[in-house]
Chain A
Amino acid sequence: MAPAAKMQPGLACPVPIPARDFVVLGHGSGGRMSADLLRNLILPALQNPVLAQLNDQAVVEVKGSRLAFTTDSFVVKPLFFPGGDIGSLAVNGTVNDLAMGGAVPLFLSLAFILEEGLPMEVLRRVVESIQRAAAQAGVVVVTGDTKVVEKGSGDGLFVNTSGIGLVPADVRLSADQARPGDRVLLSGSIGDHGITILSQREGLAFDTGLQSDTAALHTLVADMLGASQAIRCLRDPTRGGLSSALNEIAERSGVGIELQESAIPVREEVQGACEMLGLDPLYVANEGKLIAIVDPAAAEPLLDAMRRHPLGREARMIGTVGGARPGMVTMRTRLGTSRIVDLLAGDQLPRIC
């Protein structure tokens, strides 16, 4: 790539653009690098109208029924953490991807990639956790697969789950449905899962008393759909956090979204850990929260319905959809000023000092 000096006399920048010849961790961050990978490599090869929707799940019509279909891989480290483990995460994550399309989750597939040498006891605990989570969510694991790779070719245990559900005829939720005037609702505090995982990692073990928020959200969604049909879109802000989910909606709907910083619930333990590490809770992963873009008239009844559900007790209205600055998420800060809530390029990196 030509340096800037070639275009602008008197200007030379010290760094060339590095060629993107390899996959780097940032490509899996849920940020802009992930989006670019999708747009530049995957979508052009597999282009079709259903995939182009880029929702958490595909909704396809089969002989009059509307099927929701989704898949997700789980590579969390450590495998067991306060509040959950890779097994419950794999069930809840896929149930939630179906639920965000308004679907009633029905069937899951389960695929393991196991590394040679993994203690059988670990696998047994994960399978038991999957059984419990599936029973609790009312879904049935109906098919599966197991592969074993040589020691060193995996990291203990990876899980993939796919899920199928049925979407009621009158429910149409999609990230391209947000309109100016809509309200943004959030079901509870953000960052609990990501900070819990981070606090368990080697080299950073700090004691927060926090638990992952991993939970299946389909009954909360059912209560919400029962209270109002004026929901445009639901998202569970997992990897990449609140920011990534809202930026996707803003871009897909061609609208601007303005958040109110003081309205976004963040637990003190999460806030404290983020301050210490130089992280922003808006980018930290959640596994049991949802955001809803809703018609303004439906906001209050929906909040009431959410707060009656155990997983929505702390539900808040956190922002509004506007017509200005399409594709951009901004935030009214605690100081009353305005700032951008951008998609990050890759993973959030703790700062040096």
Chain B
Amino acid sequence: MKYLDEYRDERIARNLAAEIGRRARRPWTLMEICGGQTHTLMRFGIDEVLPPGIEMVHGPGCPVCVTSLETIDKAIAIASRPAAILVSYGDMLRVPGSRTDLFHVKASGGDVRVVYSPVEALKVARAHPNRPVVFFAVGFETTAPANAMAIWQAKREGLANFSMLASHVLVPPAIRALLSSPHNRVQGFIGPGHVCTVMGCREYEQLAREFRVPIVVGGFEPMDLLEAILMLVTQLEQGRAEVENQYVRSVTYEGNRLAQKVLGEVFEVCDRKWRGIGQIPASGLSIRREYADFDADTIFDFEGFTVPEPAECISALVLQGRKKPTDCPVFAARCTPEHPLGAPMVSSEGACAAYYQYRRHMVAGAGAN
């Protein structure tokens, strides 16, 4: 298939891997930021073609994984109200809150509906004018503009029964938090291709300069990742620490100005709790006061609603690239996608689920079932 096969070609992959091997004179530890990139690495077994000195550790870019327990519990609380309709992306339904998940709320009578776009949530709100319709908006900068657009449109239409439980997170503050940690061992980053399609590359330059770390914005196909790794290794061997763009077919330096504009119109930067990691300053987006009528956090009274995130947790270490899923003693034994003990086992973009689904046969000792 055109635009697909050429990015999944064995011969090109082997050539790129061999070139990475020729350039790398020292071992390097690299992190891919996005869960989608982790998924590709695992699904295509890219660790098998990389030279042994290149270690990939997996970043926090899985929206399902980093959404705080508190936010999930709020969504569950809304969905449990008799009149309310909670509208969500499908993979949020399986994420356990502190006591239950949205699938179970749905099974016991809650009105939870799966959509593929926030525009669909608006349709639900129009169809049920007498019921509160809440869209559960999670994700990074990638999904934020469409969600902002939905609120903007709801205000314009005066769609009074529509609101959004927004828990957006931002990538650059997360990279800053990782690099500031005394335990950091990441020497180069594959930047988030779809986030940068929206936001551009500019905001990564400060990080590259300040921490002397190369960042190559990368795509999601096997060739994208191998090429991004090659570009990172080249920079590292040459002692450079710059922002480069591998994903040129989608990402421009400035990003999508229109998307940024609507995002800035509806959302503002706020502190955000990340599941497994904790509070990161200025790392989230919340709904501006001008749009408070559409903010589920305000409309539904969540005053004093706090759910503690456990401090010690292997999923936190996994999300920070400090541990591999397979370092966990319960991986593939007591923690499986049917019975996830941690959020990274829930979403298909979570590092633990990706290892489980595609790679556990390569790991000695991991359970086969």
Is B truly associated with A? yes
Chain A residues with CB under 8 A of B139:
352-353
Closest to A271 in B: B1
Mask, B201-224, CB within 8 Å of A = 1, is 000000000000000000000100
Known: A16-B98, A203-B116. A22 touches B104 (CB 8 A): yes
User: Which chain A residues numbered 7 to 60 have a C-beta less than 8 Å away from chain B?
Assistant: 7-8, 10-18, 21-26, 32-33, 36
| Stretch of B86-94, B158-166, B254-262, B263-271 contacting A (4+ beta carbons < 8 Å) | B86-94
State whether B343 touches A15 (Cβ < 8 A).
yes
Known: A8-B330, A353-B63. A18 touches B312 (CB 8 A): no
State whether A339 touches B45 (Cβ < 8 A).
yes
CB distance from A243 to the nearest CB of B (A): 11
Mask, B339-369, CB within 8 Å of A = 1, is 1111100111100000011111110000011
Asked if A146 is an interface residue, CB under 8 A from chain B, the answer is no
Asked if B36 is an interface residue, CB under 8 A from chain A, the answer is yes
Mask, A313-353, CB within 8 Å of B = 1, is 00000000000010110100111111110101110011111
CB distance from A276 to the nearest CB of B (A): 10
Asked if B46 is an interface residue, CB under 8 A from chain A, the answer is yes
State whether A353 touches B36 (Cβ < 8 A).
yes
State whether B64 touches A335 (Cβ < 8 A).
no
Closest to B90 in A: A349
A-B residue pair count with CB separations less than 8 angstroms: 175
State whether A351 touches B349 (Cβ < 8 A).
yes
Asked if A181 is an interface residue, CB under 8 A from chain B, the answer is no
CB distance from A133 to the nearest CB of B (A): 31
Asked if B329 is an interface residue, CB under 8 A from chain A, the answer is yes
Known: A330-B361, A334-B8, A339-B43. A351 touches B100 (CB 8 A): no
Asked if A150 is an interface residue, CB under 8 A from chain B, the answer is no
A338 to B359, CA, bound (A): 8
State whether A339 touches B96 (Cβ < 8 A).
no
Asked if B240 is an interface residue, CB under 8 A from chain A, the answer is no
Asked if B314 is an interface residue, CB under 8 A from chain A, the answer is yes
Chain B residues with CB under 8 A of A3:
341
Known: A203-B115, A335-B8, A349-B91. A325 touches B368 (CB 8 A): yes
Closest to A36 in B: B338
Chain B residues with CB under 8 A of A350:
89-91, 116
CB distance from B71 to the nearest CB of A (A): 13
Contact with A333, one of B44, B90, B275 (Cβ below 8 angstroms):
B44
A15 to B75, CA, bound (A): 16
CB distance from A37 to the nearest CB of B (A): 11
Contact with A271, one of B4, B46, B98 (Cβ below 8 angstroms):
B4
Contact with A8, one of B8, B329, B346 (Cβ below 8 angstroms):
B329
State whether A13 touches B315 (Cβ < 8 A).
yes
State whether A24 touches B104 (Cβ < 8 A).
yes
A277 to B36, CA, bound (A): 12
Contact with A15, one of B36, B91, B341 (Cβ below 8 angstroms):
B341
CB distance from A240 to the nearest CB of B (A): 14
CB distance from B291 to the nearest CB of A (A): 22
A328 to B358, CA, bound (A): 11
* Number of A residues with CB within 8 Å of any CB on chain B: 52
* Number of B residues with CB within 8 Å of any CB on chain A: 81
State whether A327 touches B91 (Cβ < 8 A).
no
Closest to B308 in A: A14
CB distance from B229 to the nearest CB of A (A): 14
Asked if A72 is an interface residue, CB under 8 A from chain B, the answer is no
Asked if B289 is an interface residue, CB under 8 A from chain A, the answer is no
A327 to B336, CA, bound (A): 17
User: Which chain A residues numbered 195 to 219 have a C-beta less than 8 Å away from chain B?
Assistant: 203-204
Asked if A121 is an interface residue, CB under 8 A from chain B, the answer is no
State whether B91 touches A352 (Cβ < 8 A).
yes
Contact with B313, one of A13, A275, A340, A353 (Cβ below 8 angstroms):
A13
Asked if B243 is an interface residue, CB under 8 A from chain A, the answer is no
Chain A residues with CB under 8 A of B138:
352
Chain B residues with CB under 8 A of A11:
312-314, 328-330
State whether B49 touches A337 (Cβ < 8 A).
yes
A345 to B369, CA, bound (A): 12
State whether A353 touches B143 (Cβ < 8 A).
yes
Asked if B132 is an interface residue, CB under 8 A from chain A, the answer is no
Mask, B89-132, CB within 8 Å of A = 1, is 11111101011110110111000001111001001000000000
Closest to B334 in A: A4
State whether A13 touches B335 (Cβ < 8 A).
yes
Known: A340-B361, A352-B89. A4 touches B341 (CB 8 A): yes
A336 to B346, CA, bound (A): 28
| Stretch of B9-17, B21-29, B174-182, B230-238 contacting A (4+ beta carbons < 8 Å) | B9-17
Closest to A334 in B: B8
A330 to B358, CA, bound (A): 9
Asked if B310 is an interface residue, CB under 8 A from chain A, the answer is yes
User: Which chain A residues numbered 232 to 281 have a C-beta less than 8 Å away from chain B?
Assistant: 268, 271-272, 275, 277-278
Additional A-B contact list (19), CB under 8 Å, known A17-B96, A333-B44, A351-B36: A3-B341, A14-B275, A14-B343, A18-B100, A32-B338, A203-B117, A325-B361, A325-B368, A328-B361, A333-B43, A335-B222, A336-B10, A336-B13, A339-B43, A346-B338, A351-B89, A351-B348, A353-B142, A353-B194
Q: List 12 A-B contacts (CB under 8 A).
A: A7-B330, A13-B335, A15-B98, A335-B222, A336-B49, A337-B48, A337-B49, A339-B42, A344-B337, A345-B338, A349-B93, A353-B143
Kindly list the 6 A-B residue pairs having the minimum CB-CB distance in the complex, ordered from nearest: A337-B45, A349-B90, A22-B107, A13-B341, A337-B48, A345-B337
Chain B residues within 8 Å of A, Cβ to Cβ = 1, 4, 8-10, 13-14, 36, 42-46, 48-49, 63-64, 69, 89-94, 96, 98-101, 103-104, 106-108, 114-117, 120, 123, 138-140, 142-143, 194, 222, 275-276, 309-310, 312-315, 328-330, 334-343, 346-349, 356-362, 368-369
